[in-house]
Structure 1
């Protein structure tokens, strides 16, 4: 994170603002890490059988046949996203997935709000962060409620929020490009942050996971892909908090 050197008149207000920025970004990083962990746990609950884990506790899976169970778990009936009829819930997994999306929205919003010192992108960053949060929380809450109720809840609300997520996708992609072109000294991690937030959207996730592991419905990489990107966004946001020059190897004499 780069903060302009304070003058004698504005040194104290700038120092207070700098602490506020660090606090916002630190909380955002923690929320993103929690989102990644919960998302990976939910994905493992569904697709762990595809990676040598136990089959989820749902009826109708072929006992002693991990490959057959893996194929069946790829069916949309077990989806976390927009759970609808017919739907087969997986013991707490949908609730964890919903909470993961809520924390993702909050984490991105806090980091976006903390990206100060960039007048040309400040307003767009705040608006994109707010829109991202509204969309992802709007998708996460119905999934959380569905997981707790054991049946689809507020599917129409999820569908409406997904439209907002599509718009947020365009905004975060634009911010990734803008940060690369007109960003400050820490533009690289900021680009990684916005690019990861963009690719975590369900549409890019579906596209890439199907390429990496083809499936008739949902790829077994679904959920893991997003969680990895969210973790990358958290790392990128954390890197921006490292003061310039820290972590660099000292130059050898005579070089």
Structure 2
């Protein structure tokens, strides 16, 4: 473990980690990436046999998605097409290890779970965007009302999306009420599960930085390109995309009441 503190994580690292998580989060991405890393370039039919729970049409869709994300590339030999990892997809081992460790230690399961599934389930617990930014705010400032978190949060979320995001984080067990109130507003705090996410942020951010460096042809800002193409991990997650024109939250009074 890196034992890096939330306070030492920069805003740039938080943003890169969010973008990396959004890229990896769609269901089956990690399974396919780990399979290709272990076996080398494979045909679609070979991938389907290696992942027997998936239909061939599903494997084709996942490969198309990973190709559009710049993580896999086709190679042809006559009429045979195989897909292998691009440079941007290498170096994911620290990311997978951190996510698997976090899920195993803070979420867990009643039975054995494959490492790729541990990573997928870990990502599935993280509603994006703004999860890491909100956790960092709690970690640095202690228990706060949701309104006060919004006051300090440096992230482009609309007000309604922000409050829904806080509700989802609470539902996922990353934050909980302390039992105290500020006026009518509940005071919230990080759970051990949410606090431990700092160990996940650093490897995600480092991988995203290498990925960006390996794709110099991209001219658009990552924030402009990553969110619209992201596919939510769970159907109930309604907040996986930034608004096209984000509006900053109104800054509340320190008491928690809006101006």
Q: TM-score, normalised by structure 2?
A: 0.28
Structure with max Cα Rg: 1
Query: Could you say which structure has the greater relative contact order, defined with CA pairs below 8 angstroms and 6 or more residues apart?
Result: 2
Normalising by structure 1, we get a TM-score of 0.28
Return the structure number with greater helix share: 1
